[in-house]
Structure 1
Amino acid sequence: MERMLATPADAEIILKLYQLRTETLMREARAWMTGEFWPNTPEEFFAVAQNPADPHNAFFRQVVTYWEMGAAMVLHGAVSAELFVDCNAEGFFILAKFSHMLEAIREKMPTFMNKTSELVNRFTAAAARYEAVLKNVEARRRALTAK
C-alpha cells in the first residue's frame, strides 16, 4: 500500500467512529461480542447469529455491521486505509475470532464480514494487523478450550 498522509476529514471520521463505539449500548454489545461470545461450532454461531429470539442477536448484528460499515468507508475511499488500520483492531479481531469456521458461516451467510475480509486482502497494513490479531485470537481460543 502506498503511504499517504491522512486528511483532517479522515481524522474526523476516525474520531466519530470512536465516539460511536463509546455509546453505552454499543459498549455493552462490543464487550459481549469480544469477551463472551466464543462459539466453537457453526451451530453455536448460528444459534445466535440467525436467531432473532436470542437476546444477544441484536448485539451480534450491531457489532458486525458497525465494523463492516467502517471497512466499507475505507474501501470506498471515504477514509484513509492506513489511519483506519492504525486506529482500529476490533473488526479484525472479530473476523479472526470466526476464522476457524468462516467457510461454514459463509455457506449460510455469504456476505458475513466480506468488507473486512476485502480490507485484509487489499491493504498490506490491514493484512499485517489481521495476522497479528489472529495469533492472539488463536491463543485465546486455546486458553478457553483448556478451561
Structure 2
Amino acid sequence: MEDQMSTKPTPADAELILKLYDLRREAEMRKARNWWVGAFWPQNADEVAKIASALGTQENNWLRQVGGYWEMAASLVLHGALNEDLFLEGSFSGEMFFIFAKVRPFLKELREKMQAPKLFGNVEKLINNSQKGRDILKTVEERIAARRKAMAEAAA
C-alpha cells in the first residue's frame, strides 16, 4: 500500500470520495454517525457485544451501519479502487479513525466474543498499511483518551 500513497489521485478518485461523502449525509446515517461520535463511548468489549447482539434495536442498526460503511470504504482503498492518500485526508476519513480508536483497545476480545475474527479488519489493515495511517491513529487515540478522562472527571 505504501506505493499507492505516492500515486496522484485521479478525477475518478475525487468523484468516488464525493459519492462516499454524499452517502454519509443520508438522514439515518447522520443519526448513526452522531450516536457513534457523541453517545457511544464503550468501555469494554462486553458493552459493544451487548449492542451487537441486540438485533432490531436502533443502536444495533447504528453500530452496524457506521461500522459497515467504514469497512466498505476501507475495502475500496485496499483493493485499489480508491487512492489511499486522498482517502486518508482527515477531512474525509477522520471519523473512521475515531470510531476505530474507540473499539481498538478491546478489539481482540470483541472479535472473540462475537466470533468475528475480521471485525473492523479492513479498517485496521488500511490504518496499519502506512505511516500516515498509524500517525493519524496515534493522534486520535490521544484525543479519545483525553475525552474519556474529561468525561470520567465530569461524572465524578
TM superposition score category, shorter chain reference: over 0.9
Provide, for residues 1-20 of structure 1, a one-character-per-residue CA deviation record: whole Å limited to 9, x for no partner.
34221000000010001101
| Residue of structure 2 aligned with 1:54, choices 45, 53, 57 | 57
Kept in 2, the 8 Å contact 1:47–1:54? The answer is no
Provide, for residues 37-70 of structure 1, a one-character-per-residue CA deviation record: whole Å limited to 9, x for no partner.
1121222111101220433100100000000011
Moved over 3 A (4+): none
Any gaps of 5 or more consecutive residues in structure 2? none
1:94 corresponds to:
99
- Equivalent residue of 1:5, what SS? coil
One-letter code aligned to 2:22: Q
**Distance change >3 Å, CA 95–CA 141, structure 1 → 2:** same
One-letter code aligned to 1:76: H
2:36 corresponds to:
33
- Equivalent residue of 1:89, what SS? helix
How much has 1:32 moved relative to structure 2?
0.4
- Give % identity: 39
TM-score for the superposition, normalised by structure 1: 0.94
1:139 and 1:15 mapped to 2: Cα distance? 32
One-letter code aligned to 1:132: T
C-alpha RMSD over aligned residues: 1.2
TM-score for the superposition, normalised by structure 2: 0.89
Any gaps of 5 or more consecutive residues in structure 1? none
1:4 and 1:57 mapped to 2: Cα distance? 38
1:49 and 1:68 mapped to 2: Cα distance? 16
1:79 and 1:53 mapped to 2: Cα distance? 33
